[in-house]
Chain A
Amino acid sequence: MADLSSNFIGIKSPNPFWLASAPPTDKKYNVERAYEAGWGGVVWKTLGAEGPPIVNVNGPRYGAIWGADRRLLGLNNIELITDRPLEVNLREIKEVKRKWKDRALIISLMVPCEEDHWKAILKQIEDTEADGVELNFGCPHGMAERGMGSAVGQVPDYIEMVTRWVKQYSRMPCIVKLTPNVTSILPPAMAANRGGADAVSLINTIKSITNVDLDAFSPFPMIDGKGSHGGYCGPAVKPIALNMVAEIARHPETRGLPISGIGGVTTWRDAAEFMALGAGNVQVCTAAMTYGFKVVQEMISGLSQYLDEKQMALSDLVGRAVPNFVEWQHLNLNYVTKAQIDQDLCINCGRCYAACEDTSHQAIAMSPERIFTVKDEECVACNLCIDVCPVDSCITMRELPKGSTDPRTGRVVGDFADWTTHPNNPMAQAAE
């Protein structure tokens, strides 16, 4: 079994799987059960400023998208930050951390953008002996309308300002949680970096309406005939999160800034992908909310097996795919492939034909006997046939060897050459 123990910005945990700040982490009872199930760390559900507790709706807080067999693919929520009194949370955090010294315990925070508020709460939480703080600049619903959450995360100057306060008034490691509800994730990440953040975590949820009740004509989740946008999460958001994580990981200004990857992590493989794209650890919520805390056991066994098979340490995995995440202009235009259909595996459904003939490059031929074959002279290797094929590995891509001629273009496959040197590019640099 590979060693999964993790050290994220000095915070140690027996594995890199943390529960994200969310409903599952809002009280001692849950957090202890999560630790018992094997979670390496927990980010306690966001605490707010002292005063009358937050109020939540008393109708549905969640909306969902399902597959045909009710597999939960995406979840959205309109729950606000903790609605428990601050002192209760602080007492419980202290009790839990004392009892579970080997696990990470981070406190998520969200208070108004005023220096005194931050100074006050940081002083209050210092006594808990928690391992760090996470600044919730992410939640896109409810709190944002009160000038917190994603309202802060969408303004890089605010991110930088608050991060500075936190570093000034606290010695705790500081993670800044970013909202994806921005046109580019880079300015917020850079602002956090400038403010002195020890790490960023992303993504928080995406503004969303999961569906509309077509009888009541209300968005969902529906409260007494009306709906409000929620924050979207779960497996459906993973591709968006992966891209944002990778953008931060590769940008010269943010490269090396530790990242806690969040967004649809459901299996060990999801976690490994986030880590390969630069995340030092991952945070999970929807998978736990769907399957219970025990789901971490598969993540642990799977990641461990993967590392063993690759003969890699956990630290070797982090960022391993980042150098291969390049801009389009650096992709090899002399990498030529053609689809090929394995006739033994083909079940003759014709989905590849429909996709290619109707929506792509008319590169698949269909015989009267329903035999489907690729026309190399038309195939641009777009991959759509593979994506729609219901049979695993039935259609694959075959690379044309260097020196052969592409029957589509009539050109000989040459050495690496990308757009930067292509003759059609007006900005092309002549090769030296």
Chain B
Amino acid sequence: MSNSPLTPGIAASRLPAEAYARNFSDHEPALDRHEARVAADRCYFCHDAPCITACPTSIDIPLFIRQIATGTPEAAATTIWSQNILGGICARVCPTETLCEEACVREAAEGKPVEIGQLQRFATDTAMAKGLHPFTRAAPTGKRVAVVGAGPAGLACAHRLALHGHEVVVFERRAKAGGLNEYGIASYKATGGFAQAEVEWLLQIGGIEVRTGVELGRDVSLEQLTAEFDAVFLGIGLTGVNALRAVGEDLAGVRNAVDFIAELRQAADLSQLPVGRDVVVIGGGMTAVDAAVQSKLLGAENVTIVYRRGQAKMSASSHEQDHAAQAGVRIIHNAAPVRVLGDGQAEAVEFAYTSEGETGLVLSPETFTLKADQVFKAIGQTLQGAPEGLAVAGGKLAGPAGKVWVGGDCAAGGEDLTVTAVAEGRDAAEAIHAALVQG
């Protein structure tokens, strides 16, 4: 260890070598068989269960939990995957505390929901460890579909299309498939290379070709795709990042949180990843929390999330906020950045307190300054590089048009969650299938 958390500036190796493995291990270890049986036993098998309604992919949760309870986690996995082919990663990254587990009747009754996410992980992990892929393709239809973006929406769409017998080519701009599962979520939520393992597992269906390093608008155009394929699905995500629009934003040390997270996810040796001594993350969503917590785990001395509105408005769930607080991250609400201070390199950020006015956020003349040698911007992503001519509504692709379908974060409707992207990809595949079969 050459450095410490106290080393000034942005530096690598702030921690002893062994600390990295510990810090970035599974933050919620999997249930063992006995724990899963006990957890499953708590499910009441509710009628028309609220948890199913709360799940964007409508997984039959009571049924899969009962299948775990009766010793058939493999059947449980089939129940999960038939609705959500990325049930493995969703079990890890879904904000279950605001979805199925919030709806669980035991949450209302006791404040202790059935551990649905953990049980889903138990089922899918068990079945994947056995090499099960309980789906077989329908007879070939002779139809070809292009899927742009190998994120959750694209992968879910591709699998469902392949299942129906169509030939699918997935175009991915990055080097690996997986989208935000591979590049976007905190490392400790998907340890052991799970995102890639799940992609490989998903591709076992057959009939899906993945072409990485191909970017829409750069290497291939929508016109080419619509000409060559019977249908096109766009699951291109939100690749633009909102700017702070504050003075000093271009100083060294100020960067996009998503880029930091992607770099961290791809780092072969986390000890070699530099991080600031004083890190300030600006934003209030999951990306902000993931960047802040991981900064802390890399050895930053002080990490602060600053969000311009009140706690209730933060899109990171209270569970995520608690997780950040437990990791030693400080969260400041109701403060907006005014300027980044520094000479070539960021040294501090000046914030103004805010209040909710009738016409929007009002900046108070009262300000404060936080030391910051590294500043992460996590104030939302935007649609970027969408092909010309597609209708945009509220900054997102509005909906299907002609031979083109859309889904995932780039598309209007639904929250920007992995599970929502899976649902939209799956449903688009069904719509494409219906159109192709009809046509």
Contacts and interface: CB of A to CB of B under 8 A. Distances in A.
Interface of A: 69, 71, 267-269, 291-292, 294-295, 297-298, 301-302, 304-306, 391-392
Interface stretch (B67-75, B324-332, B343-351): B67-75
B245 interface: no
Contact of B75 (A291, A301, A391): A301
Nearest to B60: A297
A305 B78 CA distance: 11
Contact of A302 (B34, B45, B72): B72
A268 B68 CA distance: 12
B63 A302 contact: no
Contacts of A268: 70, 72
B70 A295 contact: no
Contacts of B70: 267-269, 298, 302
B319 interface: no
A302 B75 CA distance: 7
A304 B104 CA distance: 29
B45 A301 contact: no
B47 interface: yes
26 contacts: A69-B41, A69-B42, A267-B69, A267-B70, A268-B72, A269-B70, A292-B45, A292-B47, A294-B47, A294-B63, A295-B66, A297-B63, A298-B66, A298-B72, A301-B75, A301-B78, A302-B70, A302-B71, A302-B72, A302-B75, A304-B75, A305-B72, A305-B74, A305-B75, A306-B72, A392-B34
Nearest to A392: B34
Contacts, number: 43
Contact of A301 (B42, B47, B72): B72
Interface string B33-45: 1100000011001
A295 B67 CA distance: 10
A268 B42 CA distance: 19
Contacts of B74: 305
Contacts of B63: 294, 297-298
B32 to A, nearest CB: 10
Nearest to B75: A301
B79 interface: yes
Given A71-B41, A294-B47, 17 more contacts: A267-B69, A267-B70, A268-B70, A268-B72, A269-B70, A295-B66, A297-B63, A298-B63, A298-B66, A298-B72, A301-B72, A301-B75, A302-B75, A305-B75, A391-B34, A392-B33, A392-B34
Contacts of A302: 67, 70-72, 75
Interface string B46-89: 01000000000000001100110111101100110000000000
Given A292-B45, A292-B47, A269 B34 contact: no
Contacts of A391: 34
A218 to B, nearest CB: 30
A395 B75 CA distance: 29
A302 B33 CA distance: 17
B101 to A, nearest CB: 18
Q: Which 8 A-B pairs have the closest CB atoms?
A: A301-B75, A267-B70, A298-B66, A291-B45, A302-B72, A305-B75, A305-B72, A392-B34
A268 B72 CA distance: 10
Nearest to A308: B74
Contacts of A298: 63, 66-67, 70, 72, 75
Contacts of B66: 295, 298
Q: Which of B45, B71, B74, B75 has the most CB of A within 10 A?
A: B75
Interface string B254-270: 00000000000000000
Identify which of B63, B66, B71 gathers the most chain A CB atoms within 10 Å of its CB: B66
Nearest to A71: B41
A260 to B, nearest CB: 22
Contacts of A291: 45
A391 B35 CA distance: 11
Contacts of B47: 292, 294
Contacts of B42: 69
A399 to B, nearest CB: 24
Contacts of A294: 45, 47, 62-63
